[in-house]
Amino acid sequence: MTNNLWYKNAVFYEISVRAFKDSNGDGRGDLRGLTEKLDYLQTLGVDCIWLMPIYPSPLRDDGYDIADYYSVDPAYGSLDQLKVLIEAAHQRDIRIIMDLVLNHTSDAHPWFQAARSDRNSPYRDYYVWSDTDQIYKDARIIFVDTEKSNWTWDEQAGQFFWHRFYSTQPDLNFDNPKVREEMLNVARFWLDLGIDGFRADAVPYLIEREGTNCENLPETHAYLKQLRVFMDEHYPGRILLCEANQGPEDVRPYFGDGDEFHMGFHFPIMPRIYMAIKKERYEDMAEIMRRTPSIPENCQWCTFLRNHDELTLEMVTEEERQWMWKEYAPEPRMKLNLGIRRRLAPLLDNDRRKIELANSLLFTLSGAPIIYYGDEIGMGDNLDLFDRNGVRTPMQWDSSPNAGFSVETPFTELVKGDLGYRHVNVASQLSDPDSLFHTIQKMIALRKNHAAFGGSDMQWVETGNPAAAVYLREHDGDIMLIFNNLSGTLQHVDVPVQYQTACIDLFTGQSLFLNTTLEIGPYSYFWMQIQK
């Protein structure tokens, strides 16, 4: 594992450890369970796993509320078991990154406990306090369904404390040099253990300044650059992945001159993939890509269709949001904050063609794709569960009781109905060569075999057909022409004359000659390698 740019053409896989596989029969997934399932992930072909938080936590925000940065919650296992997992993954050429939650701790963290109980505690200044809740008024509220203010009065402290998320997650004070140093120590701790990097959570909010929206401030970037210098110096080849739910113009500075983040999520392209499939036109995707500034050579975007949060609609206009809700969240309980709390398969009507099409876009657009666990088999969600828990249900391994996830009753209710484990599970898909699993596996393998997909070059090809998303990917002499029919009807696509040439259809392996027009079935796609 010596290629320091490994992430540029890697396929990522996001895992909730709690929901993946239980090895000790307590109904909760754990590190040993995940280790047992590495063969599965290797069969799927992923290069890097992203672990959602495994730190001790009261779980008021599913582990994004950390009570101790230096250990693993015993429910998941031990530090030694994490080391075993990392080693076993590395043996299979799979890397592991984990969540690094810099912005806030749990209110159960001893730092906060000390801070709130004593004004003179050295930990008081670890957090952001105020006698009034009338400052930083220009900062928006993120969890609009649950929080009324970013300030919460603390009786014990006799002051308000600042929080961008739940009021059980006080923000750390990044103006305090001790906090800045402490978080470098946290990073060092896990990197020394062998972790390959971090998905850095909620980074736009580290620093607050009056008169600003308290997002993406220069001081925040300065700290993140410090973190990068530290990583490069001591841990070359490990990566930082930026979670900044912002427009492309605002995410661009997180790459710096190739000296801040290695990777950043491309939030705005995600809802536009869903818009494209429903509106049967590619223009919204093309528009956001045009708006996306180029990034340094050693950086890469991360693309995704779904993750553990609601399908966020923060990066679309108000009108588009209402439209997305109408189309994709017809029941009020499907909405959450400014988003939609559903999984991929139910969102796309469990229509195999649409699910494949969305994945075709995911795997061929510019950026490195992340798969959310279970979406490779098209598992469902459970809307009866609170908040985002409905999309964090146990992985559906087989049709035995408890989905093969645990011998005991799982920590949460499973998915019910057609997309539950009796109908949708890994075992049955592994044994069916035509399953969604095998299609995704094939997409991953093709993607990894072709340099074109890991490069940054991507050009839309104008064919005069708004329903045909056609684009060129090119890198290191590898040229790929991708055709996606976004519509539910057969389309004839005019092939521009310069591409009327010999090519290979990657899915069939057949050589063919691209003629003046190409017929594409409803929601179908072709990945063509141009032969020059």
The pair of three-digit structure tokens given for residue 496, joined into one six-digit string: 């521009």
Please, which residue, 61 or 208, has the CB nearer to ligand GLC? 61
Please, which residue, 339 or 410, has the CB nearer to ligand GLC? 339
The residue number with the shortest CB distance to ligand GLC is 64
The pair of three-digit structure tokens given for residue 437, joined into one six-digit string: 């699993």
Residues 6+ positions from 513 with CB-CB distance below 8 Å = 500, 501, 502, 503
Q: Which of 243, 260, 356, 381 is catalytic?
A: 243
CB of 159 to ligand GLC, least distance (A): 22
Residue 384 among the catalytic residues: no
Angle at 10 between CA 312 and CA 363, to 5 degrees: 55
CB of 61 to ligand GLC, least distance (A): 5
Q: Determine the 3-state secondary structure of 171 from DSSP.
A: strand
Please, which residue, 59 or 193, has the CB nearer to ligand GLC? 59
Judge whether 377 and 436 are in contact, CB under 8 Å.
Answer: yes
CB of 64 to ligand GLC, least distance (A): 3
Judge whether 55 and 61 are in contact, CB under 8 Å.
Answer: no
Helix boundaries (H) for 329-435 = 344-347, 352-364, 426-430
CB of 484 to ligand GLC, least distance (A): 28
Closest CA to 134 of 92, 162, 114, 155: 162
Please, which residue, 115 or 241, has the CB nearer to ligand GLC? 241
CB of 199 to ligand GLC, least distance (A): 9
- C-alpha–C-alpha distance, residues 218 and 92, integer Å: 40
User: What contacts 24+ positions apart, CB below 8 Å, involve 267-271?
Assistant: 267/312, 267/314, 267/315, 268/315, 268/316, 269/303, 269/365, 269/367, 270/303, 270/304, 270/305, 270/311, 270/312, 270/315, 271/311, 271/312, 271/313, 271/315, 271/316, 271/320, 271/324
Burial 376-409 (b: 16+ CB within 10 A, else e): bbbbbbbeebebbbbbbbbbbbbeeebbbbbeee
Residue 61 among the catalytic residues: no
Query: Element (H or E) spanning 485, and its range?
Result: strand 478-485
Please, which residue, 196 or 309, has the CB nearer to ligand GLC? 309
Residues 6+ positions from 192 with CB-CB distance below 8 Å = none
Residue ranges in contact with ligand GLC by CB under 6 A: 61, 64, 101, 165, 201-202, 243, 308-309
CB of 391 to ligand GLC, least distance (A): 11
Query: Element (H or E) spanning 85, and its range?
Result: helix 79-91
Please, which residue, 243 or 381, has the CB nearer to ligand GLC? 243
Judge whether 311 and 278 are in contact, CB under 8 Å.
Answer: no
Please, which residue, 98 or 430, has the CB nearer to ligand GLC? 98
Q: Which of 65, 171, 201, 310 is catalytic?
A: 201
CB of 171 to ligand GLC, least distance (A): 10
Q: Determine the 3-state secondary structure of 196 from DSSP.
A: coil
Burial 481-510 (b: 16+ CB within 10 A, else e): bbbbbbbeeebebebeeebeeebbebeeee
CB of 13 to ligand GLC, least distance (A): 16
The pair of three-digit structure tokens given for residue 512, joined into one six-digit string: 């063919």
Please, which residue, 60 or 448, has the CB nearer to ligand GLC? 60
Catalytic residue numbers read: 201, 243
